[in-house]
Chain A
Amino acid sequence: MYELDSRSLGPFDCYSLRFAQPGEHRYAITRAGPRGLGTDRPFRVTVTGDQPLRSDEITQHNVAVRWSTDGFTANPAELTVTAGDVVLWHDHHAGVPFEIHGDGPIDSGSLREQSGYTHVFGNPGHYTWIDANGSGLRGRIVVRDPDVSRPRGRERWLAQLSRGHVVTIEGDRVEPEELEIVTGQTVYFAVVAAPGITVTDESLPTGLPAPSHE
């Protein structure tokens, strides 16, 4: 399935996290869904340095996630970064929805401070996203099909694919609450500060208990 859900990273989805503090963080990549009791965390991000970087000094490190019969792999499996740097995990033909979770702030299923989730919208429609963890945060993405019936329209659409859009989430604020894009464009949900949220299509099961009716 290819869904808008930060708990289930799929084709071309990315999860990013800025590591502000030094330390060693071990993590696992598992199939999306209920987490087992396993404690195996084969991958590692080591953060060195203790001076927060200015934004123009931040380095981005990419980690490609693949799937094989032995399970998920991260490339590189071990990474050393400087405090303040950003690590971005991206699906690299994994073919199986996954999530990333481990020590400290690493948790794609619960987005916190200075983390992010990108999703490429492949189908036209109106997508209302919510926080499946129940914070009440929500927003809307309107995806319209481009007119690709003529070469010029196709060229214009291809150029649009390289232009990303950002939805900023900070506390209880979402900016913009509604965004209009064309099919194939990517939206970055940038979580500046939040208590651990998801970006989940409203039509998907949230996993939350049904409201009680007393």
Chain B
Amino acid sequence: MSEIVVTVGETDAGSLLGTVLAGTGHQTVDGTAKLGPLDVTYRLDATLTGGGLDLNPPATVRITDLRVDYALSLSFEFDIGSVLPEEHIPRVCFDVPVIGRICTPAIDIDWPTIRIPVSVTDFVRGTAELSPAVTLDAEVWNVAVVVQGVPVLQLGPAANALFAAIGTAATAAVALVPGIGPFLAVVVAAITATISVAAATGLLGRLLQPLVAGRAFPIYRQPQRLEIVPALAIRLDQVTARVDDNSALVLAIGFSPL
């Protein structure tokens, strides 16, 4: 068996990966998730763009500064009655000089459950480690780099932005409730206290990390039968991929004449 060795340097591999990432296009997912104790429905549109590329022998491809741009729309319900007196604004009494005791009337208000819609457009950066993977499917060789484990995404700033957006959206939604006037700030405080930045971080992690984790980016695809010129074909018997000591991606292709 003869062998062809293709070597791709780090710079060219970076360009290749950029092209591959650009080709992945938009990803859209929707569903339900937990935001702290609250159930949320969400829709997420995300795009990956690559940053720097490190090739480390024997088989690690690290994408640094991987960027995930996303538009997240979520909504959740909040029962205002869980925070405020369920039956009424309480009667308040005062001992007034000369007059005596005066009381304001209790006012019945059925506090509603409100839906709070939140939209936020932001991005996170991170690092993902990948390994080359070679498969032969239906007489076609496929070489890809596959993300190993869970990518490290910097969720902190994005979680703060999401948390702030939730506060803004909650204020707008609660403000529409008739009679809420004196309690607006407390209800919003209760909502944000229920959620917390940690919960926002957890939600973003659960939504964004799967977009990257375990993902395979194809970089080479070739039918096992390769026609060199008419009437002259070879068979690609074996393909291996690795990173060599010079930080180059190496494809070794063993072939035999047909």
Interface of A toward B, CB cutoff 8 Å: 2, 10-12, 14, 16, 18, 55-56, 58, 60, 62, 64, 86, 88, 90, 92-93, 95, 114, 116, 118, 120-124, 145-146, 148-149, 154, 157-158, 161-166, 168, 170, 183-184, 186, 188, 190, 192
Residues of A with C-beta under 8 A to B182 = 2, 11-12, 120-122, 183-184
Contact B99 A92 (CB under 8 A): no
Residues of A with C-beta under 8 A to B37 = none
Contact A90 B186 (CB under 8 A): no
Nearest CB of chain A from residue B198's CB, rounded to whole Å: 13
User: Interface of chain A, helix or strand or loop or mixed?
Assistant: mixed
**Neighbour of B186 across the interface among A16, A18, A95, A146, CB < 8 A:** A146
A122 touching B184 in the complex, CB below 8 Å, given contacts A148-B193, A190-B99: yes
Contact A145 B102 (CB under 8 A): no
A10 touching B181 in the complex, CB below 8 Å, given contacts A92-B107, A186-B104: yes
- Does B100 make an interface contact (CB < 8 A)? yes
Contact B186 A183 (CB under 8 A): yes
Nearest CB of chain B from residue A44's CB, rounded to whole Å: 21
Residues of B with C-beta under 8 A to A163 = 92
Nearest CB of chain B from residue A173's CB, rounded to whole Å: 11
| CA A154 to CA B84, docked complex, whole Å | 9
Residues of A with C-beta under 8 A to B84 = 158
Can you name 12 A-B pairs with beta carbons within 8 Å? A55-B98, A56-B100, A88-B104, A90-B107, A118-B104, A120-B89, A122-B185, A158-B85, A161-B85, A164-B94, A188-B96, A190-B96
Contact B100 A183 (CB under 8 A): no
Contact A62 B105 (CB under 8 A): yes
Residues of B with C-beta under 8 A to A14 = 104
